[in-house]
Amino acid sequence: MTTRVLIADDEALARSRLRGMLEELNDYEIVAEANNGSEALHQCMASSPDIVLLDIRMPDMDGIEAARHMAALEEAPAVIFTTAFDSYAIEAFDTHAIGYLLKPVRMEKLERALAFAAKLTQPGIDAATAQIGEQSARTNICARRGADLHLIPIDDVQYFQADQKYITVKHLHGEDLIDEPLKDLATEFADRFIRIHRSALVALAYVERMEKNAEGQYEVWLRNCPEPLPVSRRHVTAVKACVKRTATDRG
């Protein structure tokens, strides 16, 4: 059975070298190539590779973040990092990568890593990618739009709002639904978002003011949002202090 491989590296020479080595091996098919993390993610959705050979230091989105998004896919591929920098090893394995190869990649090490990854069943890959370790926050939120993936820059997100199973991501260009726990988002983006309600996180960068409405309910008004969001009583004190601190920081 042929194993499907995606090569992602911003250097054409590095992709060519990996391509040449794969072509010397049996039972591996190169289904796509990418030159940055976001392209790798889209190619991963389009071509459903079994294994991704993923560079780490790339423009637009680095390999670490791309691997985190790949780990959340319904059928996650096995990720093998290829990099010239050994300083990324710990962070790379926090994404539960299957392998980590230093450039220049040697044929025997590549073959060994590919063979190990190819033997993993999908449940084995799912188990390896199920838990993401503590890492720096993502720069993008990944949302599905039909069969496609859409990357939303975290800088554009105004708020997250939970609604039963899904989370609405309200951003500058509309809104999307994602399937991530609100508590995980609150932890990951704790320095940029504040909880105003058990079902809502707002971006501090977009907070304009907090005030009471005619019914005595506190509300937060966000820049570029036509309607305010309610603040629950248990969060009023923390939100008020945060809004005041943010206003002071802005000068």
**R_g of the chain, CA atoms, integer Å:** 21
7 with 123, same domain: the answer is yes
What is the side-by-side order of every strand in the sheet holding 28-34? 28-34, 3-8, 51-55, 78-83, 99-102
Question: What is the domain range of residue 150?
Answer: 142-250
215 with 114, same domain: the answer is no
Confidence (pLDDT) at 133: 41
In a domain, 27, yes or no: yes
In a domain, 136, yes or no: no
| Contact between 41 and 66 (Cβ < 8 Å) | yes
Identity of residue 36? N
Please give the helix or strand (H or E) that residue 130 lies within, else none.
none
Rounded CA separation 54/129 (Å): 15
Q: Which domain-ending residue is among 129, 163, 179?
A: 129
Give the number of residues written for the chain.
Answer: 251
Confidence (pLDDT) at 98: 73
Domains identified in the chain, total number: 2
Rounded CA separation 183/172 (Å): 23
Rounded CA separation 130/27 (Å): 27
In a domain, 113, yes or no: yes
Confidence (pLDDT) at 229: 96
What confidence category does residue 92 fall into, taking pLDDT thresholds of 50, 70 and 90?
A: very low
146 with 221, same domain: the answer is yes
* Dihedral pair phi/psi, residue 203, rounded to 5°: -80, 125
106 with 190, same domain: the answer is no
Q: Which of 79, 81, 86 minimizes the C-alpha distance to 117?
A: 79
In a domain, 137, yes or no: no
66 with 163, same domain: the answer is no
In this structure, what CATH number is given to the domain that contains residue 83? 3.40.50.2300
In this structure, what CATH number is given to the domain that contains residue 196? 2.40.50.1020
* Orientation of helix 63-71 relative to helix 37-47, angle to 10°: 30
Identity of residue 176? D
116 with 233, same domain: the answer is no
Q: Which domain-ending residue is among 95, 129, 163?
A: 129
HEC profile of 53-107: EEECCCCCCCHHHHHHHHHCCCCCCEEEEEECCHHHHHHHHHCCCCEEEECCCCH
23 with 125, same domain: the answer is yes
Q: What is the pLDDT of residues 144-191, one digit of tens each?
A: 887 777 899 999 999 999 988 899 999 999 999 999 899 999 999 999
The answer to whether residue 94 scores a pLDDT higher than 70 is: no
Confidence (pLDDT) at 126: 55
Rounded CA separation 221/71 (Å): 35
Task: Name the pTM for this structure.
Answer: 0.73
108 with 166, same domain: the answer is no
Rounded CA separation 103/78 (Å): 19
17 with 122, same domain: the answer is yes
Rounded CA separation 111/91 (Å): 23
For the chain, give the percent of residues with pLDDT over 70. 87
Q: Which domain-ending residue is among 129, 155, 173?
A: 129
The winner for highest mean pLDDT among 22-31, 64-73, 96-105 is 22-31
